[in-house]
Amino acid sequence: MKNVGGADRFIRIVLGIALLSLFYFMPGYWKLTGLVSLPFLFTGLTQRCAINQLLGRNTCRIR
């Protein structure tokens, strides 16, 4: 079931892309901080968030 709505989805995707850029701009082991972006991109693109589901939150308007 989808539980990530429009604005929430947009914010997750933009934040994911911004954090992913760290992978290309940071030197050495700091590149690994860019991997933090993967959960944001995954939840934004699939519109499913396990944490929202555990908390009972749903920002998606379509049921």
Burial of 36 by CB count in 10 Å (0-12 exposed, 13-18 middle, 19+ buried)? middle
- Domain coverage including residue 45: 6-55
The encoded tokens of residue 45 equal 């693109």
Q: How confident is the model at residue 63 (pLDDT cuts 50, 70, 90)?
A: low
CA distances from 4 to 18, 25, 47, 63 (A): 19, 29, 5, 11
pTM greater than the 0.75 cutoff: yes
Q: How far apart are CA 20 and CA 26, in angstroms?
A: 10
Q: pLDDT tens across 24-35, in order?
A: 899 988 888 888
* Domains in the chain, number: 1
Q: Is residue 30 part of a domain?
A: yes
Q: Residues 16-43: what's their mean pLDDT?
A: 91
Q: Is residue 51 part of a domain?
A: yes
Q: How far apart are CA 40 and CA 34, in angstroms?
A: 11
